[in-house]
Amino acid sequence: MWGCGALLGARARSRLRCELFLAWDRGWSAAAPYSASAEPSRVRALVYGHHGDPAKVVELKNLELAAVGGSDVHVKMLAAPINPSDINMIQGNYGLLPKLPAVGGNEGVGQVVAVGGSVTGVKPGDWVIPASAGLGTWQTEAVFSEEALISIPSDLPLQSAATLSVNPCTAYRMLMDFEQLQPGDCVIQNASNSGVGQAVIQIAAALGLRTVNVVRDRPGGTMVTYGGMAKQPVIASVSQLIFKDLKLRGFWLSQWKKDHSPAQFKELIVTLCGLISRGQLTAPACSEVPLQDYQRALEASVQPFVSSKQILTMC
């Protein structure tokens, strides 16, 4: 099952201070700007026209590439993962739903092919990732607005770049936003098989925090649910709420983005890229699957207790 939670800020009256608990419920060359008069490119995309079982409603279709306007960017997608949120979005039970028909995929990395005349933040050859969910990354190429993209270093490992904008961002924000963790504090972690859990372990180490897998009888703390894809209720002990001052919170990255400026999200991405470049943050276990084999990737993604993330490759 998909679903995640976290307990932060449990104060221990010993040398080992425990602060956080996590639980798991389950080369393109530079080109001239593209113009409307150019020969339309053949775009392959995974599209769904109505909500339902991803294996039944997602289809591989040929689309026509839109013309590049003044503030647009033509992007050749390189790789895009299948996340639990992608599955729930297709099923129609996620907190953010695009207008149908829609191209699937909220995360991924692409390379800029051409830019419009008003674009100043990216150039052909740059690598870019989505700035927000719902962009539609399960396609071989597309034209996006410049504001919908964030530039990242092109020397990052492909899998790390493709999986950068969701799980590592969630992990970092949970470590930073709910408790004032200090070097030497302990992160209580039992979500090590999830993408967020793997990112928490690595980011915590980079911040000088320690991780353990079990917590018992820790006074104080904040239980943060950050996934909930299993759609099951959060179970909390009444005695822990009363006598241990347990607090319950929820975290959703999309809401965090709404509450913060694009510049703040870009700053977060820069921080995480630095961790990747220094070898302190690596991609989760991944299986690369060609786009045309999407059915196999979708089937694997909905299986319970599968720790390998499916990544669609566009070449």
Q: How many whole angstroms from its chain centre is CA 78? A: 16
| Six token digits for residue 123 | 């150039």
Tally Cβ neighbours within 10 Å of residue 149.
23
Catalytic one of 94, 172, 226, 294: 94
CA distance 108 to 128: 9
Beta bridge partners of 213: none
What SS3 string covers 118-149? CCCCCCCCCEEEECCCCCCCCECEEEEEHHHE
Name which of 29, 277, 267, 28 is nearest 153 in CA terms: 277
| Six token digits for residue 269 | 């991405």
CA distance 46 to 218: 47
| Six token digits for residue 58 | 């997602």
User: Using CB atoms within 10 A of its CB, is residue 283 exposed (0-12), middle (13-18) or buried (19+)?
Assistant: buried
Name which of 23, 146, 79, 124 is nearest 311 in CA terms: 79
Strands (E), the chain: 4-8, 18-24, 42-48, 58-64, 72-81, 102-103, 109-115, 127-130, 141-145, 149-152, 186-190, 210-212, 221-225, 246-250, 286-290, 309-313
226 is catalytic: no
Q: Give catalytic residues, as residue numbers.
A: 94
